[in-house]
A and B are shown apart, each in its own frame.
Chain A
Amino acid sequence: MAQLTIDDLRRILREAAGDVQDIDLDGDVMDLEFEAIGYDSLALLEAGSRIERAHGITLDDGLITEAATPRDLLTAVNEVLAEADAA
């Protein structure tokens, strides 16, 4: 299964929770904390359920809420995707 990229995540965040104002989401945001970017836990939950729907996977709630940065989230989601492929 295709891996989730930072561009996928940008698009999903925008669809799920709208665009942020003070930060350029298209810039280097990989290691910025979601809160600093402007997305709170609900925004991430909403993004998480969109990822689940798009890829037909299930993500633990903890996986979403414990991811502090886009890199954390991509790493965790891609692990789940890899497991789903292996299964």
Chain B
Amino acid sequence: MTGTKTATKRAEVVVTGLGVTAPNGLGTSDYWAATCAGVGGIGPVGRFDASGYPTALAGEVPGFVPEDHLASRLLPQTDHMTRLALVTADWALADAGVRPDEWSDYDLGVVTASSAGGFEFGQRELQALWSKGGRHVSAYQSFAWFYAVNTGQISIRHSMRGPCGVVVSDHAGGLDAVAQARRQVRRGTSRLMLSGGVDGAVCSWGWVAQLASQRLSPDGYRPFDATASGYVPGEGGAFLVLEAAEPARERGARPYGRIAGYGSTFDPRPDGRDREPGLKRAIDLALDDAGITPADVDVVFADAAGVRELDAAEAAAIGAVFGRRGVPVTAPQTMTGRLYAGAAALQVACALLAIRDGIVPPTTGTDPMPEYGLDLVVGEARRRPVRTALVLARGYDGNNSALIVREEV
């Protein structure tokens, strides 16, 4: 967030459509109803036999039948998470009242977040390679595994040929992708951007890769709890439709809110102990970008790693900006698990729905340590007006992002 401020006011960028596929709800309305009611979607892994692994819990999207949503031609060439992504994108565009064929191809762009690409597809093809030989590997492996595959497939499906890209920054990716989409709209390189992330690697190969982080919980996801033991991974995520506020209003769109501020930082090197961790700086940058003060923030959607030292660092950053118990904090991802590239995009969707309905959804299944000084919304959802929400997300090994969404007035 460098550069001088120009005299011309930069275009406001609003969110005009949402699509959600989450472990506690297929589609925005199911997800939001479950989330407000504190109903979670974490359970024993169903996509493969995980009983022999240290972690056998996951948040899996319920009731998803690809054939109900996608043409047969797409099925042999798509990983499970790409199928989820294509359907989520369809829903986001429909929610925005956008029919892409009525727009110029080059006015529509796609920026998604990704973590590992199509892992389950890749696993199947690698198994074919070593057990049967190269002739048995699908030609579609050439792109189905690839990080940028969701952006590419969405772009092809809807002829969205404006600026397209992919951001790979672990859990922070959902925010970083939305920030990049906002830049494209502000630059005028695209009239409409589809952005966010849908992810998932609930397969044995993906599992082993995730276990290597040592951050997966054997027994449940309890961020900020004294017994926090890591997180539970999940699949799904959200896509958002972003447009400049004026033209969106002119075409009759009804924005959920606007992307008001963003900041992104790296933590200091491990030997840079005299420098503060980067999360607080990311929050400060986002507040500055939005032109607001901490007092304007009605709720914080936490990253909630579920790992003791990471929870402590996040609580410290929130406390340093807002004061002890200075702002309601919530982490509804206790109901979904952490969704990697899909995580933060789903949090932004959740924040926009909180603004729409004046409800802060709860953090479930956790008993926050008083030492953290957080006003964590536990038990039941809290009804209160939400005009401004701050969403935090951290990637593995120290990249931090903060994004602010505000009510559109």
Contacts and interface: CB of A to CB of B under 8 A. Distances in A.
B135 A17 contact: no
Given A42-B139, A46-B138, A46-B139, A21 B73 contact: yes
A21 B71 contact: yes
Contact of B135 (A18, A38, A52): A52
Nearest to B132: A53
Contacts of A45: 139
A49 B139 contact: yes
Interface string B116-145: 000000000000000000011011101000
B74 interface: yes
A18 B142 contact: no
Contact of A46 (B71, B72, B75, B140): B140
A49 B134 CA distance: 10
A16 interface: yes
A74 B400 CA distance: 56
Contacts of B75: 18
Contact of A19 (B72, B77, B142): B72
A46 B73 contact: no
Contact of B76 (A21, A38, A46, A53): A46
B73 A42 contact: no
A20 to B, nearest CB: 6
Contacts of A21: 71, 73
Interface string A46-70: 1001001100000000000000000
B70 to A, nearest CB: 9
A16 to B, nearest CB: 7
A38 to B, nearest CB: 7
A18 B139 contact: no
A17 B149 CA distance: 17
A19 B67 CA distance: 12
8 contacts: A14-B72, A15-B76, A17-B73, A18-B71, A18-B73, A43-B139, A46-B138, A53-B135
> 6 smallest A-B Cβ distances: which pairs?
A18-B72, A18-B73, A46-B139, A45-B139, A19-B72, A42-B139
Interface of A: 14-21, 38, 42-43, 45-46, 49, 52-53
